[in-house]
Structure 1
Amino acid sequence: MCGSSEVESRSLKLPKPWYLRSIHNGKSPCGQGGQSCWLDRLLDESCKAIFVDTDLLPARDSKMGDLVQNETEASLVFQLTEALLHSGIQEEQIGVISLYRQQIKLLSHLLAKRKGIEILTADKSQGRDKECVIISLVRSNDAGQVSPAPFMYSS
């Protein structure tokens, strides 16, 4: 439940909502079968929260030693962040969170020129207030594995 009706009714207002239309020239090359561009759906001001399903993409996680990353998902986060910035959102208004240190490194590399964007683990993001938060969940694999190894508890 939201803390107040003001918080409940808030949404991200894009200073330049026409940006995506300008790069598409009235067409939607990202959409398939008459669907709108995935960025159009994410930048819609009525959208408050959305999960982006990457199951149909080659967006599988991979290992870097013992660490996990997802290069395709990082690329999507980069594209969304750039679209937000070109639509007039300020760097300081955007926060990027991931649960995986290797994904933080990858995102930090991709967004290295964007010094005002905070890219943090979930723990380090506590207490931050951002207009737009992008969460990179990373894990996507054919085995359906969401953690490095199953946890077992016994009493």
Structure 2
Amino acid sequence: MSRIVPFETTLEVRDACLCLHVQRAARALARRFDEALRPVGLTHGQFSLLMSLNQPQPPALGAVARLLAMDRTTLTAALKLLERDGLVSSRADPSDRRSRWVTLTGKGLEVLAAAVPIWRETHAAVEAGLSEPGPDVLRAGLLALT
């Protein structure tokens, strides 16, 4: 059987595909932060979700979903786990019973406070390991893709 797509194309995609490289980097970063945050019982995704809720007023879930690039169904499932663990609480929005307010509980605030120094240390180590032009240029490039 002859190849319709030559092996050279496979090598081209392996070496050039931005999506593949971003996915691989995201998985490596996720593993690193998951390991670092394990002592406080969080994953990197849970840390980001708790941090997104750390606001003076409960944020709209749509805004949280957009910030975290999650669909509402995935966000709701993640919040249910955090609520089960006592890290967040939810209640109906008094002005619109169809909407829900999700806030950090006292326990959620304590866990988040314990996680921040771990995140800072891990994040600093990741940034220190980046070659020039450095993390600011990387962040700008990634933001340009969103």
Using CA pairs below 8 Å that are at least 6 residues apart, which structure has the higher relative contact order?
1
Decide: shared fold, TM above 0.5.
no
Larger Rg: 2
Q: TM-score scaled by structure 1? A: 0.22
